[in-house]
Amino acid sequence: MDDSARPDDAGTYEPAAGAAPPRRLRADARRSIDAILNAARTVVSERPDASMEEIAAAAGVSRQTVYAHFPSRDALLAALVEAAAADYSALLDEAGLDTAPPADALVRFLGAGWRFVDRYPLVLNATANRIPRPEPDPHDVVPPRLERLIRRGQQEGDFDPRTPASWLTAAVFGLQHTAAEQVASGRLTAEEAEVLCRDSALRLCGGAG
């Protein structure tokens, strides 16, 4: 490599005087960003007030590298929540909610939620309200998908049509949040909570438990 340009921790080249403008090593930068976000997901779940230095150490990069990609802690947390939202959306896309039989689709919806919470336990942390919300927020995007599923179940005769779908949607989310909190507090195992939540949601909607 020409000594006129050397890569720094952030994956960019710092040129010598008169050299070409810096160019980003896209693969290296992407790996650094992924490592930082993965570390933040773990560290912030355990310690919501974790510093940028702690996150950098967990990611195996320098503090300067973290700041090169995320100019502030708030920017890093916003990127983390955006990544979480994208992961949740992908899990729901993979679940085939619009094509599976309604009762099966409801079980798949709940399963996607459990996988999301397992990957991002920070959403259950009592201080999570200090974490910036993404645009679009999953709290705005996910409920309509569940409500559409429940309406389809009511139209096809799988779910009881006498209860408004909007109410059932809110109730199912409430069940899952309560079940997850029971796990977080140690009152239930994850397996127990998932089964109880699934059976309760199906009974609530008028499907078979």
pLDDT confidence of residue 3: 43
Given a cut of 60, is residue 82 above it in pLDDT? Answer: yes
The 3-state DSSP class for residue 96 equals coil
Given a cut of 70, is residue 115 above it in pLDDT? Answer: yes
Structural domains of the chain, ranges and CATH numbers in brackets: 9-71 (1.10.10), 81-205 (1.10.357)
What's the Cα-to-Cα distance from 122 to each of 8, 10, 67, 126, rounded to whole Å? 32, 27, 22, 9
What's the Cα-to-Cα distance from 61 to each of 7, 44, 56, 82, rounded to whole Å? 14, 17, 5, 22
pLDDT confidence of residue 16: 44
15-44 burial code (b ≥16 CB/10 A, e <16): eeeeeeeeeeeeeebeebbebbbebbbebb
* Cut 0.85: pTM above it: no
Q: What is the mean pLDDT of residues 162-187?
A: 92
Residue 6 — φ and ψ, nearest 5°?
Answer: -130, 145
What the block records as the tokens of 5 is: 């340009």
Strands 13-15 and 5-7: antiparallel
Given a cut of 60, is residue 14 above it in pLDDT? Answer: no
30 pLDDT tier (thresholds 50, 70, 90): confident
